[in-house]
Amino acid sequence: MESPTASQPARRTFWALLFPETPRHFRWARPVQLVLRSLHIAAMALVVGGIPFGADYQALRGPIILTVASGALLFALDLAKDLAMLSQGSGVAILLKLALLGLGVLQPATRLPWYLAATLVASVGSHMPGAWRHFSFRTWKVSKVGD
């Protein structure tokens, strides 16, 4: 039988992989994020702008797919840098935005207000001060300030 301490190095390695001491830095991340975020905003604007004019799923299919794909890639990039971001202000804003979008999907008759609320949360999450963005609800202190 394996001793309880034999799995400790593997466990530490796993946690270090998920939660590095300092967030990972990918040299290519900034330009990729710029392109993805621009596509995400433009596609999302088409979706949210088309809803009040009665655009159906078929008309919005392309922008919906582009919005979801670009958003998923942006989220994956943030998670690849450091999973701890989920417990920070920026991650909580993303999770709240996803919850609001989910409510819009579940309640199609009132999806516009849910999507607008998600847009407001996303805007605040993207532009809030670094101390708020990097405030950790897990450690109750600012984890990191700046890019």
The pTM score is 0.82
3-state secondary structure of 20: coil
Judge whether residue 147 has pLDDT over 60: no
How confident is residue 6, by pLDDT bands cut at 50, 70 and 90? Answer: low
| Whole-angstrom distance, CA of residue 81 vs CA of residue 19 | 9
Which three-class secondary structure string do you get for 100-135?
Answer: HHHHHHHCHHHHHHHHHHHHHHHHHHHHCCHHHHCE
pLDDT digit string, tens, across residues 26-82: 899 999 999 999 999 999 999 999 999 999 999 999 999 999 999 999 999 999 988
For residues 26 and 80, is the Cβ–Cβ distance under 8 A?
A: yes
pLDDT digit string, tens, across residues 84-123: 899 999 999 999 999 999 999 999 999 999 999 999 999 9
Copy the structure tokens of residue 17.
Answer: 């992989």
For residues 97 and 45, is the Cβ–Cβ distance under 8 A?
A: no
How confident is residue 2, by pLDDT bands cut at 50, 70 and 90? Answer: low
For residues 112 and 52, is the Cβ–Cβ distance under 8 A?
A: yes
pLDDT of amino acid 9: 67
